[in-house]
Amino acid sequence: MSVDAVHQSSTPGERKAREVAEEAREKEWARPSFAKGIYLGAFDVTLIHPYPVPDPEVAKRGTQFLETLREVCETIDGARIEREDHIPDDTMAALRRIGAFGMKIPREFGGLGLSLVDYGRALMLISTVHPSLGALLSAHQSIGVPEPVKMFGTPEQMQEYLPRCAAGAVSAFLLTEPDVGSDPARMNSTATPTEDGSAYLLDGVKLWTTNGPIAELLVVMAAVPPHDGDGSGRGRRRGGISAFVVEADSPGITVEHRNKFMGLRGMENGVTRFRQVRVPAANRLGREGQGLKIALTTLNTGRLSIPAIVAGAGKWSLGIARQWSTERVQWGRPIGEHEAVGSKVAFIAATAFALESVFELSAALADAGQKDFRIEAALAKLWSSEMGYRVADELVQIRGGRGFETADSLAARGERAVPAEQLLRDMRINRIFEGSSEIMRLLIAREAVDVHLHAAGELASREAPILAKAHSAVGASRFYARWLPTLVAGQGMRPGAYGEFGQLARHLRFVERSSRTLARRTFYAMARWQARLDRKEVLLGRIVDVGAELFAMSAVCTRADAMRRQDPAPGADAVRLADAFCEQSRERVAETFRRLNASTDRTDTRLARAVLDGRLRWLEDGVIDQSEGTGPWIAPSAP
């Protein structure tokens, strides 16, 4: 029995989506994952402590580049990008000149060969000038052509594309289609092999292609129809979703529309149509059928750019919150001295420290190359995008009416042009793209319950025969007889444990205890819901969210400790920030544990059913929906 059985669901579409996601998932965990341990009740701080130390040579290069980038950033007018909805040509030229399009590309291919930590710091810096600059650089090198070519390309492909990308040939990543968002299994774009096998003909439409309108190179995912390898009928069947590097000026490619959004103005993002576009077979990355794995693996590393960008937003928010809360006087006192505002300032400060810690830890783990960081990257993306949005929202609140006013309007009436409302608009997309929060929770939950799926075997399958279930029950009980006792006691119960962390030790003991509780509660959920657990998305989401907080607490404590050892003065502040963050985070953990099996879930499910069935349409009366009749919900893909 395969563990996939737990994912057998009612509709064929859903089954297919899960099968493809499962297929693309890494099943071999070559090295221990710190974050996975949190979900299994096996919190092991030694996997992240002492804090991973970067190669000094690489770190020196990173520091030098960051100085150069800062100089360039000081010449860029972020407000102009916002106003004109365009990144000026001289900015593009300056970024090309300093090598910003090749930050992650190895030096042997003309890139800067920076670490992920320094790459992230660069995105953090430039995104505070304007986030569309971060989007430009990260769509190009976090998910665009260089990343999949580096990971899956042949030596010839690397030689062909990496130097071009490093020199500034902008690239884009084309996975999403009008009909295909979180569920790429149903991809409609096709790549049909030519008779002689020398090329493919690409057809289809790709939506929301960041950099698409200005790209020179594209990485495109498209489905190759099943076919015989050599046409003889005897060869191995081939086909399936595959990845291709495509020259953007190939005949048959048109960018049909430049999309506009609530935020990220200045970002070039379009609808790209392919009509019989000839792509040489040599441009295929990896094997036929490997495309989704290539795309999802690219996104695994790629989504680390979001925590970096959000960490920058946290720092900027803190600066504005501090200055405004001391400057603005109401009811006889600076607003920061009113407790209700002060608590928001404290939340922003503690969260800004945590956002940077989560980004730095995840990137350092990826750089160290010793540990699997797929769950860490997903957790960092999920947690940072959610918390970053809360930070932006609290900043708008602290700014009061000025928080809602645009920077241009503030400047026009003679006040400091603080784009707080812009930040809120810009941060919103982070919870949606590169894997929405809901999809991140499913992805992490899949790994969190993996051990139970293995142990439960047929028990977890809806369609397994009774005898197989009985057999699995024996196997499972053996596994749990060994595993459950390990969750009863641990370091977190020993008063002096983690003593080297000083006053933060108590938080790490809390993390260790909570990790075991989380594993037990996951087991109870598994035992209770069995095959239906995969449909309990809200419950699974809460399990994931507890783990995300524990991950953030671990990142914060280990970073503060490293800072304290390096330099006691700022180190003491870091410990204070970490302490405050952990207090806040513990409250969220306690609340989420309390609501793990919230009784509202059943009521909500029934209510959602009633809404979806149209039984509550009367509630929609009394308003006007002017969007009605303006077009179909999803534009047809056919030309």
Ligand X SMILES: Cc1cc2nc3c(=O)[nH]c(=O)nc-3n(C[C@H](O)[C@H](O)[C@H](O)COP(=O)(O)OP(=O)(O)OC[C@H]3O[C@@H](n4cnc5c(N)ncnc54)[C@H](O)[C@@H]3O)c2cc1C
Which of residues 135 and 577 has its CB atom nearest to ligand X in the complex?
135
Chain positions 281 to 320 lying near ligand X, rule: CB under 6 A, are: none
Residue with tokens 């720092």: 315
Contact 101, 126 (CB under 8 A): no
Least Å distance, CB 372 to ligand X, is 23
Residue 150, token pair as written in the block: 């580096």
Q: Least CB distance from residue 212 to ligand X, whole Å? A: 7
Residues 190-229, one symbol each (x = binds ligand X by CB under 6 A, - = not), give ------------------xxx-------------------
Residue 422 binds ligand X, judged by CB under 6 A: no
Which stretch, 152-160, 391-399, 426-434, 553-561, contacts ligand X (CB under 6 A)? 426-434
The two tokens of residue 429 are 């997309």
**Which span sits near ligand X by CB under 6 A: 154-162, 427-435, 519-527, 612-620?**
427-435
Q: Does 429 bind ligand X (CB under 6 A)?
A: yes
Q: Does residue 39 belong to the site contacting ligand X (CB under 6 A)?
A: no
Taking CB under 6 A as the rule, does residue 181 contact ligand X? yes
Main-chain dihedrals φ then ψ at residue 396, nearest 5 degrees: -60, -40
Chain residues 502-561 in contact with ligand X, contact rule CB under 6 A? 537
Residue 440 interacts with ligand X (CB under 6 A): yes or no = no
By C-beta, is 209 or 554 nearer to ligand X?
A: 209
Give the whole-angstrom CA distance, residue 420 versus residue 426: 10
The single residue among 24, 47, 81, 139 that binds ligand X, judged by CB under 6 A, is 139
Site for ligand X in 373-402 (CB under 6 A): none
The smaller minimum CB distance to ligand X, of residues 212 and 457, is found at 212
Number of residues that bind ligand X (CB under 6 A): 23
Stretch that binds ligand X, among 157-165, 170-178, 339-347, 353-361 (CB under 6 A): 170-178
Stretch near ligand X under the rule CB under 6 A, chosen from 27-35, 397-405, 437-445, 583-591: 437-445
Residue among 115, 132, 141, 176 that touches ligand X (CB under 6 A): 176
Burial (CB < 10 A; 0-12, 13-18, 19+), residue 467, is exposed
Instruction: Please choose, out of 48-56, 394-402, 436-444, 507-515, the segment that lies near ligand X by the rule CB under 6 A.
Output: 436-444
CA distances from 345 to 263, 340, 417 (A): 24, 9, 20
Residue 432 interacts with ligand X (CB under 6 A): yes or no = yes
Instruction: Identify the helix (H) or strand (E) that includes residue 226.
Output: strand 217-228
Smallest separation (angstroms) from ligand X to the CB of 125 = 21
Residue type, 78: G
Choose, by CB under 6 A, the member of 214, 439, 527, 590 that binds ligand X. 439
Q: Catalytic pick from 434, 447, 512, 549? A: 434
Binder among 34, 316, 433, 498 for ligand X (CB under 6 A): 433
Tell me how far, at minimum, the Cβ of 313 lies from ligand X, in Å: 16
Contact range with ligand X by CB under 6 A, out of 169-177, 357-365, 409-417, 491-499: 169-177
In this structure, the number of other CB atoms found within 10 A of the CB of residue 552 comes to: 26
Q: What is the DSSP letter of 596?
A: T
How far, in Å, CA of 303 to CA of 365, rounded?
14
- Please report, as a single letter, which amino acid is at residue 263: G
Identify the three-state secondary structure at position 255.
Answer: strand
State the alpha helices, DSSP H only, in 74-204: 78-84, 89-97, 116-129, 131-138, 146-152, 155-167
Query: Which is nearer to ligand X, 380 or 442 (by Cβ)?
Result: 442
DSSP state of 195: T
DSSP string, 430-460: GGTSSS-HHHHHHHHHHHHTHHHHHHHGGGG
To ligand X, the closest distance from the beta carbon of 152 in angstroms equals: 17
What element of type H or E holds 517? Answer: helix 505-529
Shortest CB 381 distance to ligand X, Å: 12
- Whether 434 is a known active-site residue: answer yes
Contact with ligand X (CB under 6 A): which of 43, 152, 173, 498? 173
Cα torsion angle, 292, 294, 296, 299, sign: negative
Which position has the token pair 């007018």?
Answer: 77
The reply on whether position 635 binds ligand X by CB under 6 A is no
Omega within 30 of 0 (cis) for the link into 570: no
Smallest distance from the beta carbon of 385 to ligand X, in angstroms?
12
Site string for ligand X, 249-268 (x = CB under 6 A): ------------x--x----
Give how far Cα 611 sits from Cα of 602, 619, 625, Å.
14, 10, 17
How would DSSP label each residue in 290-320?
-HHHHHHHHHHHHTTHHHHHHHHHHHHHHHH
Q: How far is residue 433's CA from residue 637's CA, in Å, rounded to a whole number?
A: 21
Helices (H), 336-406: 339-368, 374-399, 401-404
Taking CB under 6 A as the criterion, the residue among 8, 436, 491, 584 binding ligand X is 436
Of 373-381, 438-446, 461-469, 516-524: span binding ligand X (CB under 6 A):
438-446
Q: How far is the CB of 13 from ligand X (least distance, A)?
A: 11
Of the residues 22, 438, 450, 601, which one makes contact with ligand X according to CB under 6 A: 438
* Residue 115 sits in the site that holds ligand X (CB under 6 A): no
Question: Token pair of 603, please?
Answer: 């009521």
**Contact call for residues 373 and 365 (beta carbons, < 8 A):** yes
Give 218's contacts (C-beta < 8 A, 6+ positions apart): 145, 171, 172, 173, 174, 209, 212, 245, 246, 247, 248, 272
Q: In angstroms, give the least distance from the CB of 36 to ligand X.
A: 21
CB of 479 to ligand X, least distance (A): 28
Rule CB under 6 A: say whether 136 interacts with ligand X: no
Residue nearer to ligand X on the CB measure, 7 or 36: 7
Q: Is 218 helix (H, G, I), strand (E, B) or coil?
A: strand
Closest separation in Å from C-beta 109 to ligand X: 23
Residue at token pair 């996951």: 522
Distance of CA 602 to the CA centre of its chain: 29
> Where do contacts with ligand X occur on this chain (CB under 6 A)?
139, 172-176, 181-182, 208-210, 261, 264, 269, 429, 432-434, 436, 438-439, 442, 537
Would you name the residues annotated as active-site residues? 434
